[in-house]
Structure 1
Amino acid sequence: MSRRNKLAKFAELLTFPNVFENRGAYSPNPVLNGKDGQPVDMKGRWNESFFKNNNPVVLELACGKGDYTVGLARMYPDQNFIGVDIKGNRIWRGAKTALEENLPNVAFLRTRIEQIHHFFAPNEVSEIWITFPDPFPKKESRRLTALPFLNLYKHILKKGGLVHLKTDAIELYTFTLEEVIPNQNDYALRYHNADIYAGPLWLEALELKTYYERKHLAAGKKITYIQLQLR
């Protein structure tokens, strides 16, 4: 993508009512901005201020172009979905699709995932989806299911809240299952499958396929899934 196209998308993002951006990506006290760059305080107020209902709030982390976020919103109109990613040019696609389809239960948050606790209150989030994240083969600490991240999620998840991992990266699946889960006590393992399409799907939402998942399947890769529940 050319620099001109990226800049055009960044400019358009500022006009989207369903996009919120953290302008202090490395600040200890980041500030969230909404439409037209206006500062907004959304922590603990996503349902009240944006969605205008009391439905469950579900996050997709490292959402990329928002394929899964938008797909979940179509599938579950009685839930609210927020796609989180640091790349504004990626978020643009999902946010624009949601606006074009008049989906009222979709928002996007541009921020580093390490800072999400600044923008969500304790018990505000019901579920977290992690779909095809970077597996970081050489940097275990940056994997979104590493213990520091699971510890972060528990501060915004409701008791009994779910964490879903869907990935083609068998090393991430194995790392989570064998090295992370046995070394913590906050989450219970509810389900895991190293090849979800080998039999009937355990969960309806697993039917959704992103652009990258289709590429992985076409290349003959198996898709894995893990579900954790906060105790």
Structure 2
Amino acid sequence: MSWSDLFYPENPERREKLIRKSQEVHELMKNNFRATNQLTEALNKHLGLSFSPITLNESATVKENCDVIIQGIREIQAEVLKIDEKLKEKLEPALYEKLKNMSLSIPDFQLFSSAVHAVCGVAAIASTAIVVTELIVWLINNVNILTDMSKTFNQIGEAVIASVTLGVFFAGIDMMAQAIIGNIERDELKKALEEYDKALEEFRPASETYQDSITYVRIRLEMMSQ
């Protein structure tokens, strides 16, 4: 036990809390990278796109990893906007609204399939038209989720944890104490915890919504592909 801990006996508990919160950030980051790659895999498979997977770098800082996933999300958004604009041009307004509401009739599907082929270069034949439609509708209707997630990563990249190397989060108490808090006393520990709480207050629910939404669309696609 350090002299600081003798004078501030609450410090060891605060360090433990800080480490747990740091580990939660690590897990959220890892799962967000995984979800993003799952979404791009679906886009590549069903819409003929060519996204490359993004990689979580344990040796990089939180901010550096945030920048990687922000760039990945922005690339997805750019493709979604392109597809959306081109479909608006190819489809009649009434048919476009039916698309967004998932209320296409069989003749509508035929028109939509032709538009998808012109826009994406993939043939949405009868057996795959519903799958492609489901994915495109999800992308168009949920582009705000991508926007919100990008904003959240920007906030995390500016928070107190931004300069911490991600791999340190699982390195153990001693290394965490040295790398994140060092030889700090009660007030500094309390401040660090407050900043972590503030960052996680936004990061946790945004990550859950993002991951759940991608899981939902993946399950729907798998069910309709069978």
User: TM-score, with normalisation over the residues of structure 1?
Assistant: 0.21
Greater RCO, 1 or 2 (C-alpha within 8 Å, sep 6+): 2
Structure with bigger strand share is 1
Structure with bigger helix share is 2
User: TM-score, with normalisation over the residues of structure 2?
Assistant: 0.21
